[in-house]
Homo-oligomer: A and B are copies of this chain.
Amino acid sequence: MAHPLTAGQATRAKLMQAASLIVARDGMEAATTAAIAGEAGVAEGTLYRHFESKDDLLIAAYRQMKQEVFLDAGTGLDTSMAPPERLKRTWRAIYLAYRANKDAFAFGQRFSESALAEREGGEAGRAVGRMVSDLRKAGIASGDFKNLPPDLLGSLFMAPITYLLKAEMKGRKWTDAELDAAADSVLAGWLR
């Protein structure tokens, strides 16, 4: 178990969480220093005891969020399954991991379309890339999948996840059957 947080560390975490929440709810432009400090329940000046600037705070929050969601999605996936079934289950697992953290997802989407994203670097999605690459290799070896470039297959795999999630955040509720149909369609795009 981790050490208990010092007061300072707790404040730092509260600030990142507050920033993430505000961006997810009201957009990047709403994440002012006043709003963040207010949401975190601390004074505005306190923010600058923990971060050099507002931008640094947002970047730190983004990096931490990515790490957390990735840990969440990576657990419990069986790599010995037949590739088609494995693709469908993996797709669903990632979808559900994001769905369980919708604020994190929304924050990530908005942050990555802001000018700050360029300053961040953006190597966080590489874990997904590796997963797709492994899956692709297994499916090509078994004769199930088309031999297409990994980044192309990766796009066909990930893109519907973000679109369906955005629809959910606007109020659309996908049934289990619809999610399964979506996974089927993604699979169909990979099959020979």
Contacts and interface: CB of A to CB of B under 8 A. Distances in A.
A163 B159 CA distance: 6
A109 interface: yes
Looking at chain A's contact residues, is the secondary structure mostly helix, strand, loop, or mixed? helix
A25 to B, nearest CB: 9
Interface in A1-50: 26-30
Interface residues of A, number: 36
A15 B85 CA distance: 52
A164 interface: yes
A53 interface: no
B148 A28 contact: no
A155 B149 contact: no
Nearest to A154: B163
Interface stretch (A87-95, A96-104, A110-118, A131-139): A110-118
B27 A182 contact: no
Contact of A160 (B30, B156, B172): B156
A133 B112 CA distance: 30
Nearest to A118: B27
B115 A109 contact: no
A155 B163 contact: yes
Interface stretch (A63-71, A74-82, A183-191): A183-191
Nearest to A190: B185
Nearest to A175: B149
Interface in A158-191: 158-160, 162-164, 167, 172, 174, 178, 181-182, 185-186, 188-191
Interface of A: 26-30, 109-110, 113-116, 146, 148-149, 151-152, 155-156, 158-160, 162-164, 167, 172, 174, 178, 181-182, 185-186, 188-191
7 contacts: A26-B115, A27-B114, A28-B114, A29-B114, A110-B113, A146-B185, A188-B191
